[in-house]
Structure 1
Amino acid sequence: MARRVFTAAALVAVAALTAGCSQAVHGSARAVKPDVSKVSGLDITTGDSGPKPGVPDADLRVENGDGGEMDRLAINTLADVEEYWSEQLPKNFAGKKFEPVKRLVSYDSNGAGIEICRTNTKGVANAFYCSLDDSIAWDRGELLPMLDDAFGPMAVVTVLAHEMGHAVQYKLGPDSGVTQATPSIIKEQQADCYAGNFFRWVAEGKSKHFRISTGPGLNQILATMFFIRDAAGTSAEKQGAHGSAFDRVAAFQFGFAGDPKRCAQIDDQEIKTRITQEKFDAQDVDTGLGKGNVKVDDKRYLDLLEESLRSAFNQSGATPPTMKTGDANCSNAQQTTPAAYCPATNTITVDLPDLVKIGTPPKRGQKGGIGDFAAFAEIASRFALSIQKATGYSLEGPAAGLRTACLTGAWAGTTNQPKADLRLSSGDLDEAVAELLADKSLIAADVNGQVVPSGFARVEAFRDGFYDGSGLCTRKYSD
């Protein structure tokens, strides 16, 4: 393959799930040393996530409901989200009062259609806010059960909290910075951010009906954001664009770490500076592994990867590690796969069969890996460890894992250049999100493969490096 790019989506995008939704500020570029035992100031917890047991259901009027499990979940979600905004809207926007949504409508997309927002719901597996009559509607027959089955009940909460974010935009009016002419990508990024605001409130234990752990629980929320991303190759300028997984997760995290005023600051200027979502170009060909993908065990691309890593970190003055394939044998570090770094010999060893498993994207309806960028980033993370060793940083523990994720993101940032020999293509950063959320991801792991417990923190560290470079990594994620 002549084109020197790598890309793939790890799952089939389901942008249609929310397709009906109606100064550069990156949010994490401050060189403040984080507490690796916390997520945005909250302790990392591993307890239960989901509906609280023994709590009476909320009493909200719903049109066309069936009283079933999905409707109860939706009603309890919207009751809690409305309670949140009743508190926070006047607090953050000069005493502006939050008026509850006027209509809540349940429907079954597999049954007889009903008219909502000038749309017949038959076959429409969706959830949406409609400003025409100030309503929120959801599909209890297909969409909500699918989300619940795939990611758990908090995935349903995520989607409906996002839709309430659109209601907030409408009720704020000019204070939201959103008009009918505002591009959809800005509206959707704001709504993701407002969902992050709500989940911070839930994580703080203030929700009547729900609880969420800041470890595995938030990981599931970010996985949901990945699942409902736009498909790779979708332009951010397209009407109805919601954002890539990388961009949607970023907006959610801004909201979780900040307040609603931060979300209202998402505007055209920020979007143009931050959004990574792009169309494929004419040279992003499909070689049988998905558009723009390459075979990760092809020596040509492994050589290009090594060149890009050396170039990315050449100013460190570190002696680049030797890269080889085969079995790893190291006296002072545990073996990891698909790549391992040995400090004693300054060597990276790559297990090609395992690399191929990660680097081969799944076919529709089948299980598989993630994509070539995810595989190459695993190798890049081990290269980042060699830089840390050469510059005197510890290679063990959570701080080393976050520093590794950040430096891997910094390398990814250097490949996001038009003239790079090996460069990012549409969907690559979504692969990074998928791999960072995996239980055994090396991207945010120390030399022994110990992964930082919080997927939220892993993604944030990678994003820090991508936007702000390796200098931030060593300042912010110091031992």
Structure 2
Amino acid sequence: MPRQLAVAVIAVSSALLVTSCSTTLQGSAVSVFDDPFSVAGMPATDGPSGLRSSAPEPTRDVEGTDDGAIDQLARQAISDIEEYWEGAYNESFGGEFRPVRELISWDANGFDDTEFCGDSTFGIVNAGYCFPDKNIGWDRGEFLPALAKEFGDVSVLDVLGHEYGHAVQDQAGLVDDDTPVLVSEQQADCFEGAYLRWVAEGNSARFTVSTGDGLNNVLAAVIASRDPVLSEDDPNVGYDEHGSAFERVSAFQFGFTDGVQACASIDMQEIEQRRGDLPVLLPEDQTGELAITEKSVRDVIGAMDNLFSPRNPPQLNFEAADCPDARPSPPVSFCPATNTIAVDLPALAEMGTPGEVEEKVTHARGDNSAYSVLMSRYMQAIQLEHGGVALDNAEAALRTACLTGVATAKLSKDSSTPDGNTITLTAGDVDEAVSGMLTNGLAASDVNGESVPSGFSRIDAFRVGVLGDQERCFKRFD
């Protein structure tokens, strides 16, 4: 019988940059619900994120600790998470909250005979919750230090908040031996989001998380925990499935926006509805990558013409953008005055170059990192033809993200090109778009390449489009 162990699965050897290549729009609030300068009803602000200088002493001891800085940070994180659940558990599930029995720290490179969930911890570069023992453990040697280095101290809250989500599931009876791993993992992502909302609202005595860069770093760590892209013939298909970046970020956002009750409602039916027709597995013997060439760019634009049937399709050129009424947004720019999409092909190809396998990159990067930006400029032409909406403000930026989501969903099915071929997004492409929304924001920017401060809001708008249609985007972001 396999051990009942829930672990975090995150590659940590390369940074996911959360600084944006696009600029940030300034402005004033529109409404408490649809303010583009807010995050789930909270102001989108930058500021300190991490352990407060005035934080009280941690309340939990750790077995096997070296009493170093990373274990002290983890102790503070667990103490904080437990303070949150002491208030939220009874309100959500009834009954008294019971903390996990033990916290266990190990060095994956050490020979200290530490065991976690019945196994030696040597070589275990991870963190996890052990269902039989009701314990949480982590690797202090590589895993948590690498996360903190790449994404900041808030990434430790991310990982341990997720693992404590498993403990809450277990205590509340939300999971059993028949619960799919995918459901268990995304519920835990959601519980993590509910906890981080509590921190972002200023309720934690130990930590702060800004809704700008701080939350962007948390989302970067969530994206890093996505499943690898597998092909249909891979023997690991269906084994220990955690979900794509799109799915895991969505689950986190449900918890952050709607709280614990939204998490308890996540099941396979909800996940399958959210997944819809989006590709999950690559066809056999395919990489999922389409080289970015002049022909491929023309094919994508031609497929968009067929899918959206504008009365006056935008023209495409591969020369420097020259536009009287908009600033360039390289590598792809849309000019409303001439209804033209200008493509810097070498720069676009560079944007869409996949990371080397040996890099074990934590961000999702590939051809759709670039094609999603190309699609976003096409969707600005759709907005121009629609009429009655501005193209150069914050609402336009989020509307563009939303409509790019619509285009992404449409292109996930075979789409015809002018020469009679087909073009189709494959597994991993949606994650590349989501990662781009966070890292550079170009697919979620207005006609001048300006975006809103919050990666959370950009990705949320993109998901509205993936799960909706054009009409919904125009109504939501008018």
Conserved in 2, the CA contact under 8 Å of 1:385 and 1:404? Answer: yes
Q: 1:82 & 1:296 partners in 2: Cα distance?
A: 49
Q: Distance in 1 between matches of 2:149 and 2:226?
A: 18
CA offset digits 1:179-203 (Å, max 9, x no partner): 1111100000000000000000000
**Which residue number corresponds to residue 422 of structure 1?**
423
Cα distance in 1 for partners of 2:68, 2:141 equals 10
Helix, strand or coil for the counterpart of 1:341?
Answer: strand
Counterpart CA distance in 1 for 2:463 and 2:121 is 38
343-352 vs 108-117, greater mean Cα deviation: 108-117
> Partners in 2 of 1:35 and 1:302 — Cα distance?
34
Contact 2:64 2:114 in 1 (8 A): no
The separation in 2 between residues aligned to 1:244 and 1:216, in whole angstroms, is: 22
Give the corresponding residue for 1:294.
290
CA distance in 2 between counterparts of 1:97 and 1:415 reads 49
CA distance in 2, matches of 1:101, 1:325: 59
- After TM superposition, give the deviation of residue 312 of structure 1 in Å: 2.9
Instruction: Give the partner amino acid of 2:118.
Output: R
Amino acid at match of 2:438: L
Q: Equivalent residue for 1:330?
A: 323
Identity of aligned residues (%): 41
- SS where residue 197 of structure 2 aligns? helix
What is the letter of the counterpart of residue 425 of structure 2?
A: L
* d(CA) in 1 for partners of 2:59, 2:272: 42
Superposed counterparts of 1:249-328, under 5 Å:
249-275=249-275, 276=278, 278-282=280-284, 284-285=285-286, 291-299=287-295, 301-314=296-309, 317-328=310-321
CA contact (8 A) 2:10 2:226 kept: no
Give ranges in structure 2 of 5+ residues lacking alignment.
Answer: 1-7, 13-31, 417-421
Once the 2 structures are TM-superposed, how far is the Cα of residue 371 of structure 1 from its aligned partner? 1.3
Q: Give yes or no for contact 1:33–1:476 (8 Å, CA) kept in 2.
A: no
Query: Amino acid of the residue matched to residue 131 of structure 2?
Result: S
**What SS does the corresponding residue of 2:450 show, helix, strand or coil?**
coil
The Cα shift of 1:465 comes to 0.4
1:96 is matched with which residue?
Answer: 95
Distance 1:232 1:388 in 2: 33
Q: Does residue 413 in structure 1 map to residue 420 in structure 2?
A: no
Q: Name the amino acid aligned to 1:343.
A: P
Which runs of 5 or more structure 1 residues have no equivalent in the other structure? 1-13, 19-31, 286-290
Given the superposition, is the C-alpha separation of residues 364 and 237 from structure 1 closer, same or farther in structure 2, using an over 3 Å criterion?
Answer: closer
User: What CA distance in whole angstroms lies between the structure 2 residues aligned with 1:117 and 1:163?
Assistant: 14
Conserved in 2, the CA contact under 8 Å of 1:65 and 1:71? yes
Give the TM-score taking structure 1 as reference length. 0.88
Q: CA deviation at 1:33?
A: 6.0
Matched, 1:240 2:237: no
Structure 1 position 237, deviation (Å): 6.2
Contact 2:401–2:462 (Cα < 8 Å) also in 1? yes
CA pair 138-374 structure 1, distance change in 2 beyond 3 A? same
Please state how far the C-alpha of 1:457 moved relative to its aligned partner. 0.5
Question: How many correspondences in the alignment?
Answer: 438
Contact in 1 for aligned 2:192/2:255 (Cα 8 Å): yes
Contact 2:398 2:444 in 1 (8 A): yes
Q: 1:333-384: per-residue Cα shift (whole Å, max 9, x none)?
A: 1111010111110000000011011111121355899211111111111111
Shift of residue 311, structure 1, vs aligned partner: 2.6
- Alignment RMSD (CA, Å): 2.0
Residue 384 of structure 1 pairs with residue 379 of structure 2? yes
Equivalent in the alignment of 2:125: 125
- The answer on 1:196 being equivalent to 2:193 is yes
Q: Which residue pairs with 1:471 in the alignment?
A: 471
SS at match of 1:468: coil
- Cα shift readout 1:142-166 (whole Å, capped 9, x = no counterpart): 1001101111111111000000000
Q: 1:219 aligns with which of 211, 216, 219?
A: 216
**Alignment TM-score, normalising by the size of structure 2:** 0.88
| Partner SS, residue 443 of structure 1 | helix
Structure 1 counterpart SS, 2:377: helix
Alignment check: 8 A CA contact 2:230 2:237 kept: no
Alignment of 1:353 with 2:346, yes or no, is yes
**1:9 aligns to what?**
none
